Structure 1
Protein backbone atom coordinates (compact mmCIF):
# COMPACT_ATOMS: atom_id res chain seq x y z
CA UNK A 1 0.00 0.00 0.00
CA UNK A 2 1.33 3.44 -0.89
CA UNK A 3 2.72 5.61 1.87
CA UNK A 4 0.44 8.41 3.11
CA UNK A 5 0.52 11.77 1.42
CA UNK A 6 2.69 14.31 3.17
CA UNK A 7 0.52 17.08 4.60
CA UNK A 8 1.36 20.71 3.95
CA UNK A 9 3.27 22.55 6.66
CA UNK A 10 0.33 24.73 7.56
CA UNK A 11 -1.98 21.73 7.90
CA UNK A 12 0.14 19.81 10.37
CA UNK A 13 -0.27 20.39 14.06
CA UNK A 14 2.04 18.65 16.53
CA UNK A 15 1.65 19.20 20.20
CA UNK A 16 1.84 17.53 23.59
CA UNK A 17 -1.56 16.33 24.77
CA UNK A 18 -2.96 18.74 27.32
CA UNK A 19 -3.50 16.34 30.18
CA UNK A 20 -5.22 18.79 32.54
CA UNK A 21 -7.74 19.71 29.84
CA UNK A 22 -8.38 16.08 29.01
CA UNK A 23 -8.88 15.17 32.65
CA UNK A 24 -11.30 18.01 33.27
CA UNK A 25 -13.91 16.37 31.05
CA UNK A 26 -13.72 12.90 32.54
CA UNK A 27 -16.85 11.25 33.82
CA UNK A 28 -16.87 9.91 37.35
CA UNK A 29 -16.41 6.34 36.14
CA UNK A 30 -13.33 7.28 34.14
CA UNK A 31 -11.91 9.37 36.95
CA UNK A 32 -12.01 6.38 39.29
CA UNK A 33 -10.85 3.86 36.71
CA UNK A 34 -7.47 2.34 37.68
CA UNK A 35 -6.30 2.06 34.08
CA UNK A 36 -7.28 5.65 33.42
CA UNK A 37 -5.23 6.61 36.47
CA UNK A 38 -2.36 4.60 35.00
CA UNK A 39 -2.56 6.63 31.79
CA UNK A 40 -2.44 9.88 33.74
CA UNK A 41 0.59 8.58 35.64
CA UNK A 42 2.36 8.13 32.31
CA UNK A 43 3.43 4.54 32.94
CA UNK A 44 2.66 3.46 29.34
CA UNK A 45 1.66 -0.01 30.50
CA UNK A 46 -0.04 -2.45 28.13
CA UNK A 47 -0.10 -0.14 25.12
CA UNK A 48 2.22 1.76 22.80
CA UNK A 49 1.47 5.44 23.22
CA UNK A 50 1.07 7.65 20.16
CA UNK A 51 3.22 10.76 19.99
CA UNK A 52 0.32 13.13 20.49
CA UNK A 53 0.51 14.51 16.96
CA UNK A 54 -2.49 15.78 15.05
CA UNK A 55 -2.31 15.92 11.27
CA UNK A 56 -4.77 17.50 8.85
CA UNK A 57 -4.49 16.55 5.18
CA UNK A 58 -5.26 19.16 2.54
CA UNK A 59 -7.92 18.13 0.02
CA UNK A 60 -5.42 17.73 -2.81
CA UNK A 61 -3.10 15.60 -0.67
CA UNK A 62 -5.59 13.01 0.57
CA UNK A 63 -5.27 9.38 -0.40
CA UNK A 64 -8.16 7.60 -2.16
CA UNK A 65 -11.19 6.61 -0.06
CA UNK A 66 -10.55 3.88 2.48
CA UNK A 67 -11.65 0.47 1.28
CA UNK A 68 -12.55 -2.40 3.61
CA UNK A 69 -15.39 -4.54 4.87
CA UNK A 70 -15.48 -5.32 8.56
CA UNK A 71 -17.74 -7.14 11.01
CA UNK A 72 -19.28 -5.46 14.03
CA UNK A 73 -19.56 -7.29 17.34
CA UNK A 74 -23.26 -7.95 16.66
CA UNK A 75 -22.30 -9.79 13.47
CA UNK A 76 -23.30 -7.03 11.05
CA UNK A 77 -21.03 -6.64 8.04
CA UNK A 78 -20.21 -3.02 7.18
CA UNK A 79 -18.42 -1.86 4.03
CA UNK A 80 -16.52 1.41 4.08
CA UNK A 81 -18.32 2.36 0.87
CA UNK A 82 -21.35 3.05 3.08
CA UNK A 83 -19.46 6.00 4.62
CA UNK A 84 -19.81 8.05 1.44
CA UNK A 85 -21.69 11.30 1.91
CA UNK A 86 -21.01 11.53 5.65
CA UNK A 87 -18.13 12.51 7.86
CA UNK A 88 -16.97 9.38 9.68
CA UNK A 89 -14.81 8.99 12.77
CA UNK A 90 -12.84 5.77 13.31
CA UNK A 91 -11.32 5.22 16.76
CA UNK A 92 -8.87 2.32 17.21
CA UNK A 93 -8.97 0.95 20.75
CA UNK A 94 -9.05 -2.02 23.12
CA UNK A 95 -10.39 -2.28 26.65
CA UNK A 96 -7.14 -2.57 28.62
CA UNK A 97 -5.57 0.41 26.82
CA UNK A 98 -5.36 3.04 29.55
CA UNK A 99 -5.57 6.17 27.33
CA UNK A 100 -8.55 4.61 25.54
CA UNK A 101 -10.37 4.76 28.87
CA UNK A 102 -9.32 8.35 29.47
CA UNK A 103 -10.63 9.52 26.09
CA UNK A 104 -13.85 7.44 26.08
CA UNK A 105 -16.02 10.14 27.73
CA UNK A 106 -14.92 12.66 25.09
CA UNK A 107 -15.79 10.24 22.29
CA UNK A 108 -19.21 9.62 23.82
CA UNK A 109 -19.90 13.34 24.15
CA UNK A 110 -18.82 14.08 20.59
CA UNK A 111 -20.74 11.16 19.09
CA UNK A 112 -23.87 12.32 20.93
CA UNK A 113 -23.33 15.90 19.75
CA UNK A 114 -22.66 15.11 16.10
CA UNK A 115 -25.04 12.18 15.50
CA UNK A 116 -27.98 14.53 14.75
CA UNK A 117 -25.74 16.25 12.17
CA UNK A 118 -25.12 12.99 10.32
CA UNK A 119 -21.58 12.31 11.54
CA UNK A 120 -20.96 8.58 12.08
CA UNK A 121 -18.65 7.09 14.71
CA UNK A 122 -17.18 3.57 14.69
CA UNK A 123 -14.75 1.94 17.06
CA UNK A 124 -12.18 -0.51 15.72
CA UNK A 125 -11.28 -2.95 18.48
CA UNK A 126 -8.01 -4.76 17.89
CA UNK A 127 -7.91 -7.30 20.75
CA UNK A 128 -11.08 -7.95 22.70
CA UNK A 129 -13.67 -10.69 22.71
CA UNK A 130 -17.28 -9.55 22.45
CA UNK A 131 -17.98 -9.63 26.19
CA UNK A 132 -14.96 -7.52 27.08
CA UNK A 133 -15.70 -4.95 24.39
CA UNK A 134 -19.36 -4.70 25.36
CA UNK A 135 -18.49 -4.26 29.04
CA UNK A 136 -16.23 -1.34 28.13
CA UNK A 137 -18.95 0.23 25.97
CA UNK A 138 -21.55 -0.13 28.71
CA UNK A 139 -19.20 1.28 31.34
CA UNK A 140 -18.64 4.45 29.33
CA UNK A 141 -22.09 4.68 27.77
CA UNK A 142 -20.83 4.36 24.19
CA UNK A 143 -23.72 3.92 21.78
CA UNK A 144 -21.82 3.71 18.48
CA UNK A 145 -20.73 0.24 17.28
CA UNK A 146 -17.24 -1.22 17.03
CA UNK A 147 -15.66 -3.50 14.49
CA UNK A 148 -14.27 -6.73 15.89
CA UNK A 149 -10.85 -6.47 14.28
CA UNK A 150 -8.94 -9.18 16.12
CA UNK A 151 -7.88 -10.52 12.71
CA UNK A 152 -6.45 -7.10 11.80
CA UNK A 153 -8.42 -6.81 8.57
CA UNK A 154 -9.46 -3.17 9.06
CA UNK A 155 -6.07 -2.24 10.49
CA UNK A 156 -4.34 -3.76 7.46
CA UNK A 157 -6.57 -1.79 5.09
CA UNK A 158 -5.49 1.40 6.86
CA UNK A 159 -1.86 0.41 7.40
CA UNK A 160 -0.62 3.52 5.64
CA UNK A 161 -2.43 5.70 8.18
CA UNK A 162 -2.59 3.72 11.44
CA UNK A 163 0.69 2.46 12.96
CA UNK A 164 0.12 -1.12 14.16
CA UNK A 165 1.14 -0.41 17.76
CA UNK A 166 -0.23 3.11 18.22
CA UNK A 167 -3.44 2.74 20.17
CA UNK A 168 -5.50 4.78 20.46
CA UNK A 169 -5.49 6.31 17.00
CA UNK A 170 -8.42 8.31 15.66
CA UNK A 171 -9.14 9.06 11.99
CA UNK A 172 -11.60 11.59 10.58
CA UNK A 173 -12.85 10.69 7.10
CA UNK A 174 -14.30 13.31 4.77
CA UNK A 175 -17.58 12.86 2.91
CA UNK A 176 -15.75 10.96 0.17
CA UNK A 177 -14.33 8.47 2.64
CA UNK A 178 -10.80 9.89 2.50
CA UNK A 179 -8.71 10.46 5.63
CA UNK A 180 -8.84 14.20 6.31
CA UNK A 181 -7.24 14.11 9.76
CA UNK A 182 -5.44 11.78 12.15
CA UNK A 183 -4.76 11.85 15.88
CA UNK A 184 -2.01 9.54 17.14
CA UNK A 185 -2.47 8.83 20.82
CA UNK A 186 -4.96 10.11 23.36
CA UNK A 187 -7.24 12.69 21.78
CA UNK A 188 -8.16 16.14 23.01
CA UNK A 189 -11.93 16.69 22.81
CA UNK A 190 -11.79 20.25 21.48
CA UNK A 191 -9.25 19.28 18.83
CA UNK A 192 -11.30 16.35 17.53
CA UNK A 193 -14.41 18.53 17.51
CA UNK A 194 -12.62 21.12 15.36
CA UNK A 195 -11.41 18.43 12.95
CA UNK A 196 -14.93 17.03 12.58
CA UNK A 197 -16.40 20.48 12.02
CA UNK A 198 -13.74 21.24 9.41
CA UNK A 199 -14.53 18.06 7.47
CA UNK A 200 -18.27 18.63 7.76
CA UNK A 201 -17.95 22.16 6.37
CA UNK A 202 -16.32 21.00 3.13
Structure 2
Protein backbone atom coordinates (compact mmCIF):
# COMPACT_ATOMS: atom_id res chain seq x y z
CA UNK A 1 0.00 0.00 0.00
CA UNK A 2 1.25 3.43 -0.89
CA UNK A 3 1.33 5.52 2.30
CA UNK A 4 2.97 8.64 0.85
CA UNK A 5 0.95 11.87 1.39
CA UNK A 6 -0.52 13.53 -1.70
CA UNK A 7 1.76 16.00 -3.50
CA UNK A 8 1.28 19.68 -2.55
CA UNK A 9 1.50 22.67 -4.84
CA UNK A 10 4.62 24.75 -4.43
CA UNK A 11 4.08 27.90 -2.33
CA UNK A 12 2.94 30.84 -4.48
CA UNK A 13 1.86 28.66 -7.43
CA UNK A 14 -1.51 29.74 -8.84
CA UNK A 15 -4.15 27.41 -10.08
CA UNK A 16 -4.73 27.51 -13.86
CA UNK A 17 -8.39 28.35 -13.50
CA UNK A 18 -7.74 31.24 -11.12
CA UNK A 19 -4.95 32.61 -13.31
CA UNK A 20 -7.15 32.55 -16.39
CA UNK A 21 -9.89 34.33 -14.51
CA UNK A 22 -7.53 37.08 -13.32
CA UNK A 23 -6.10 37.56 -16.81
CA UNK A 24 -9.59 37.74 -18.23
CA UNK A 25 -10.63 40.41 -15.73
CA UNK A 26 -7.49 42.48 -16.45
CA UNK A 27 -7.95 42.22 -20.19
CA UNK A 28 -11.56 43.20 -19.89
CA UNK A 29 -10.63 46.26 -17.83
CA UNK A 30 -8.10 47.35 -20.43
CA UNK A 31 -10.63 46.80 -23.20
CA UNK A 32 -13.23 48.92 -21.44
CA UNK A 33 -10.68 51.66 -20.74
CA UNK A 34 -9.53 51.65 -24.36
CA UNK A 35 -13.07 51.94 -25.69
CA UNK A 36 -14.16 54.81 -23.49
CA UNK A 37 -15.18 57.53 -25.93
CA UNK A 38 -13.42 60.86 -25.74
CA UNK A 39 -15.31 64.11 -26.30
CA UNK A 40 -15.34 64.92 -30.01
CA UNK A 41 -13.35 67.85 -31.36
CA UNK A 42 -16.05 69.59 -33.38
CA UNK A 43 -13.72 71.41 -35.74
CA UNK A 44 -11.48 68.40 -36.30
CA UNK A 45 -14.46 66.12 -36.90
CA UNK A 46 -15.87 68.45 -39.52
CA UNK A 47 -12.49 68.75 -41.21
CA UNK A 48 -12.35 64.95 -41.53
CA UNK A 49 -15.93 64.61 -42.70
CA UNK A 50 -15.13 65.16 -46.37
CA UNK A 51 -18.58 66.55 -47.13
CA UNK A 52 -17.21 69.18 -49.53
CA UNK A 53 -19.03 72.09 -47.92
CA UNK A 54 -15.64 73.85 -47.81
CA UNK A 55 -16.11 75.44 -44.42
CA UNK A 56 -16.12 74.35 -40.79
CA UNK A 57 -19.08 75.67 -38.85
CA UNK A 58 -17.86 76.48 -35.36
CA UNK A 59 -20.16 76.17 -32.38
CA UNK A 60 -20.06 79.82 -31.39
CA UNK A 61 -17.44 79.16 -28.72
CA UNK A 62 -15.76 82.29 -27.38
CA UNK A 63 -12.16 82.75 -26.32
CA UNK A 64 -11.21 85.90 -24.42
CA UNK A 65 -7.70 87.10 -23.66
CA UNK A 66 -6.89 89.26 -20.65
CA UNK A 67 -4.60 92.24 -21.36
CA UNK A 68 -1.54 90.48 -19.96
CA UNK A 69 -2.25 87.35 -22.02
CA UNK A 70 -2.62 88.98 -25.43
CA UNK A 71 -0.14 88.35 -28.17
CA UNK A 72 1.60 90.81 -30.42
CA UNK A 73 -0.47 93.26 -32.48
CA UNK A 74 -1.94 91.80 -35.65
CA UNK A 75 0.22 92.62 -38.68
CA UNK A 76 -1.62 92.34 -41.99
CA UNK A 77 -2.20 94.21 -45.20
CA UNK A 78 -4.48 93.65 -48.15
CA UNK A 79 -6.80 95.13 -50.76
CA UNK A 80 -10.42 96.01 -50.18
CA UNK A 81 -12.81 95.21 -53.01
CA UNK A 82 -12.65 98.83 -54.16
CA UNK A 83 -8.89 98.47 -54.62
CA UNK A 84 -7.87 100.42 -51.50
CA UNK A 85 -4.85 98.88 -49.74
CA UNK A 86 -5.31 98.83 -45.97
CA UNK A 87 -2.62 98.06 -43.38
CA UNK A 88 -3.49 97.05 -39.84
CA UNK A 89 -1.24 99.78 -38.43
CA UNK A 90 -3.97 102.23 -39.48
CA UNK A 91 -6.26 100.71 -36.83
CA UNK A 92 -4.07 101.63 -33.88
CA UNK A 93 -6.14 103.65 -31.45
CA UNK A 94 -9.41 102.02 -32.54
CA UNK A 95 -11.24 98.89 -31.46
CA UNK A 96 -11.52 96.71 -34.56
CA UNK A 97 -13.76 93.78 -35.46
CA UNK A 98 -12.63 91.34 -38.16
CA UNK A 99 -15.03 88.79 -39.63
CA UNK A 100 -13.90 85.95 -41.91
CA UNK A 101 -16.60 85.05 -44.45
CA UNK A 102 -17.62 84.22 -47.99
CA UNK A 103 -20.96 84.28 -49.78
CA UNK A 104 -21.70 80.55 -50.04
CA UNK A 105 -21.13 79.99 -46.31
CA UNK A 106 -24.60 79.52 -44.76
CA UNK A 107 -23.58 80.60 -41.22
CA UNK A 108 -22.06 83.76 -42.72
CA UNK A 109 -25.42 84.65 -44.23
CA UNK A 110 -27.11 84.03 -40.90
CA UNK A 111 -24.85 86.34 -38.91
CA UNK A 112 -24.51 89.14 -41.51
CA UNK A 113 -27.46 91.21 -40.18
CA UNK A 114 -26.03 90.96 -36.65
CA UNK A 115 -22.64 92.26 -37.75
CA UNK A 116 -24.20 95.15 -39.65
CA UNK A 117 -26.41 96.09 -36.69
CA UNK A 118 -23.43 96.15 -34.33
CA UNK A 119 -21.40 98.14 -36.84
CA UNK A 120 -24.12 100.78 -37.02
CA UNK A 121 -24.44 100.79 -33.24
CA UNK A 122 -20.73 101.22 -32.50
CA UNK A 123 -19.27 103.19 -35.39
CA UNK A 124 -19.98 106.48 -33.59
CA UNK A 125 -17.63 105.19 -30.87
CA UNK A 126 -14.87 104.72 -33.42
CA UNK A 127 -15.20 100.92 -33.68
CA UNK A 128 -14.02 99.64 -37.06
CA UNK A 129 -15.51 96.62 -38.84
CA UNK A 130 -13.84 94.74 -41.70
CA UNK A 131 -14.84 91.58 -43.47
CA UNK A 132 -12.17 89.20 -44.73
CA UNK A 133 -13.53 87.35 -47.76
CA UNK A 134 -11.64 84.20 -48.66
CA UNK A 135 -12.79 83.44 -52.20
CA UNK A 136 -15.44 85.61 -53.83
CA UNK A 137 -15.14 87.85 -56.86
CA UNK A 138 -16.01 91.50 -56.43
CA UNK A 139 -19.39 90.89 -58.10
CA UNK A 140 -20.28 88.01 -55.77
CA UNK A 141 -19.21 89.92 -52.68
CA UNK A 142 -21.21 92.96 -53.80
CA UNK A 143 -24.31 90.82 -54.36
CA UNK A 144 -23.99 89.42 -50.84
CA UNK A 145 -23.65 92.90 -49.39
CA UNK A 146 -26.74 94.13 -51.25
CA UNK A 147 -28.77 91.10 -50.16
CA UNK A 148 -27.87 91.32 -46.48
CA UNK A 149 -27.35 95.06 -46.21
CA UNK A 150 -23.78 95.02 -44.97
CA UNK A 151 -22.07 98.38 -45.44
CA UNK A 152 -18.67 97.96 -43.79
CA UNK A 153 -15.78 97.14 -46.17
CA UNK A 154 -14.29 93.72 -46.85
CA UNK A 155 -10.82 92.59 -47.83
CA UNK A 156 -10.41 90.44 -50.93
CA UNK A 157 -8.22 87.67 -49.51
CA UNK A 158 -8.45 85.19 -52.37
CA UNK A 159 -4.67 84.69 -52.16
CA UNK A 160 -4.89 83.77 -48.46
CA UNK A 161 -2.26 86.26 -47.29
CA UNK A 162 -4.45 87.78 -44.57
CA UNK A 163 -5.68 84.40 -43.37
CA UNK A 164 -2.04 83.31 -43.08
CA UNK A 165 -1.26 86.38 -40.99
CA UNK A 166 -4.14 85.42 -38.66
CA UNK A 167 -3.24 81.72 -38.51
CA UNK A 168 -2.65 81.84 -34.73
CA UNK A 169 -6.31 82.73 -34.22
CA UNK A 170 -8.28 81.47 -37.23
CA UNK A 171 -8.19 77.68 -37.84
CA UNK A 172 -8.06 76.64 -41.51
CA UNK A 173 -11.54 76.60 -43.07
CA UNK A 174 -13.15 77.79 -39.82
CA UNK A 175 -15.69 80.14 -41.37
CA UNK A 176 -17.14 82.31 -40.00
CA UNK A 177 -14.64 83.44 -37.39
CA UNK A 178 -14.82 86.83 -35.71
CA UNK A 179 -11.93 88.57 -33.94
CA UNK A 180 -12.07 91.64 -31.71
CA UNK A 181 -8.88 93.71 -31.53
CA UNK A 182 -7.99 96.24 -28.85
CA UNK A 183 -6.63 99.71 -29.56
CA UNK A 184 -3.12 98.33 -29.74
CA UNK A 185 -4.17 95.89 -32.47
CA UNK A 186 -4.02 92.81 -30.24
CA UNK A 187 -6.67 90.09 -30.36
CA UNK A 188 -8.86 90.36 -27.27
CA UNK A 189 -11.52 87.81 -28.22
CA UNK A 190 -12.41 85.20 -30.84
CA UNK A 191 -15.75 83.68 -31.79
CA UNK A 192 -15.68 80.44 -33.78
CA UNK A 193 -18.93 80.11 -35.69
CA UNK A 194 -21.94 82.39 -35.67
CA UNK A 195 -21.42 85.40 -33.41
CA UNK A 196 -24.51 85.97 -31.29
CA UNK A 197 -25.40 89.65 -31.08
CA UNK A 198 -25.43 89.89 -27.29
CA UNK A 199 -22.12 88.05 -27.04
CA UNK A 200 -20.29 90.16 -29.62
CA UNK A 201 -21.77 93.35 -28.21
CA UNK A 202 -20.43 92.42 -24.76
CA UNK A 203 -16.98 91.63 -26.18
CA UNK A 204 -16.83 95.00 -27.95
CA UNK A 205 -18.10 96.83 -24.89
CA UNK A 206 -15.55 95.15 -22.68
CA UNK A 207 -12.57 96.30 -24.73
CA UNK A 208 -14.02 99.79 -25.15
CA UNK A 209 -14.09 100.12 -21.37
CA UNK A 210 -10.37 99.35 -21.14
CA UNK A 211 -9.52 102.83 -22.33
Spell out the pairing of 1:116-155 with structure 2 (5 A cutoff).
116-155=124-163
1:84 to 81, 89, 92: 92
SS in 2 for 1:176: coil
Query: Cα deviation per residue 1:119-172 (whole Å; 9 max; x = unaligned)?
Result: 000000001000000110111111100000000011000100001110000000
Question: Is the aligned partner of 1:183 residue 2:191?
Answer: yes
Query: Cα deviation per residue 1:9-43 (whole Å; 9 max; x = unaligned)?
Result: xxxxxxxxxxxxxxxxxxxxxxxxxxxxxxxxxx9
Cα RMSD (Å) of the superposition?
1.3
Aligned residues: 160
Q: Specify every segment of 5 or more residues in structure 1 that has no aligned partner in the other structure, as ranges.
A: 1-42
2:103 to 73, 95, 114: 95
Contact (CA 8 Å) 2:60, 2:196: kept in 1 or not? no
Shift of 1:44: 9.5
State the partner residue of 1:12.
Answer: none
Contact (CA 8 Å) 1:50, 1:167: kept in 2 or not? yes
Contact (CA 8 Å) 2:181, 2:189: kept in 1 or not? yes
Bigger radius of gyration: 2
Question: Is the aligned partner of 1:58 residue 2:66?
Answer: yes
State the partner residue of 2:79.
Answer: 71
Query: Cα deviation per residue 1:95-138 (whole Å; 9 max; x = unaligned)?
Result: 00000000001001000000111000000000100000011011
SS in 2 for 1:163: coil
Moved over 6 A (4+): none
Query: Cα deviation per residue 1:60-109 (whole Å; 9 max; x = unaligned)?
Result: 00001000111000000000001100000000000000000000010010
**Counterpart-to-counterpart distance in 2, 1:151 and 1:45:** 20
Q: Specify every segment of 5 or more residues in structure 2 that has no aligned partner in the other structure, as ranges.
A: 1-50
Distance 1:173 1:44, change over 3 A: farther
TM-score, normalised on structure 2? 0.74
Shift of 1:173: 0.1
Shift of 1:47: 2.3
